[in-house]
Structure 1
Amino acid sequence: MNRTLVSLALVSPFLLAVGCGSATQTATPSSAGPVTTAPADPVTTPPAASPTPSTPSAVVAGLLPPTSTKEVEVDRSIDTQPTVTGARFGKHKGFDRVVIDFKGDLPGYTARWVPKLVQDGSGDPVDVKGGAYLQLTITPAVAHTEAGKPTWTGGPIFQTKLGNVRNVVKMGDFEGVVSVGVVLGRKAPFRVLEQKNPYRLVVDIAH
């Protein structure tokens, strides 16, 4: 499988290249306006507990479920590594939504299907079960302060209780790469949207 590589500059309109073989799909931020419907606060986990998703504040008006299962790859060069500050999730009509929040610029990323989820560095398998696994690899980025304190707290496995998304998993924060796993009940079409003020990645996955 060949994947199309797209280089994006932050001063240009956001474009996503989605490729598998020769097929590509270009996506832009939703015409329905800025994505503001995910829960307002990053999902965090108290000791020995799992978070429950917050109820989105509104329905995503006019935004249909995604239709493509093709992988996404966006390459971006930036001067300073942004920091991942949290992840949020919510259920909408026809699709689930996972939001990755950043402090700083928007990094590059890939979204690809994998046979299983493994921890970065150690290679140990993640103890989750699902019908499909979507891995987000975000780079350059970190999820800790200069002193080594995590900026994305809780987890590493967050239970979502959504229509298709079962878990969101922190898989790694290693050498400028932050990895996030999305555990699904079944493989389904997805899309990645870029949003700003503040910067965030929005991943919608059909039910």
Structure 2
Amino acid sequence: PPVVAPATAVTAGAVAGAALSDAIDAGLARREAALAAAAAEARRLAHNGQRRPPPVAVEVVGVEPVNVRLTAYPPAVQIQIAGRTLSAGQTIALKPGSYRVTLTLPGCPDCPDNDETLVVTAADDGEDKNFTFRYTPATLTFRCPEGGYVVDAKGKRYACNSSHKVDVNSARPERMVFSLFTAEGTLVRDRSIVVKQNDDIPLMF
């Protein structure tokens, strides 16, 4: 005859399952509350002109950590996460959750830290998480005939006689080429200029 589990065993299993579910729900609720508190604190500090607090982690309780490899460009970037400072390419064990990440570029005093958010899930075990350091854009004002437009080497288009934020890709000055076109799309001339982060340059065509 089939074996029937005693009612007490079934009840105990159900109680244990409910307790585990309640614990996970409580952990998720604490995670959401911590995220909301961190966001509110960041808004308060930003309003007061202060820097963000050190990186913090919000983890989901009751789950095992996973190994993720943190990569960054340029490779010299240092990564601060969960109270640790890592070099690009290192692996760290993190529980699934949301983490604040700070990217620092040593040797570049003019490069402000980058703040990022990393979300880790159980499916990320053994995966790479990639970050790219963002340099402070330059501001270029293109002085050219009304109706014309300027195009950079990547094909991005800028209106004449207005200021634009232009991404830079290095802490060092870099040469950029911009091309002036008429409203009808005829190439007028090219201009080459050396740009570094946070520059404010009027460019005459």
| Smaller-chain TM-score bracket | under 0.3
Task: Please tell me whether Structure 1 or Structure 2 has the larger radius of gyration of its CA atoms.
Answer: 2
TM-score by length of 1: 0.21
If each structure's helix is expressed as a fraction of its own residues, which one has the higher value?
A: 2
TM-score by length of 2: 0.22
Q: Which of 1 and 2 has higher RCO (CA within 8 Å, sep 6+)?
A: 1
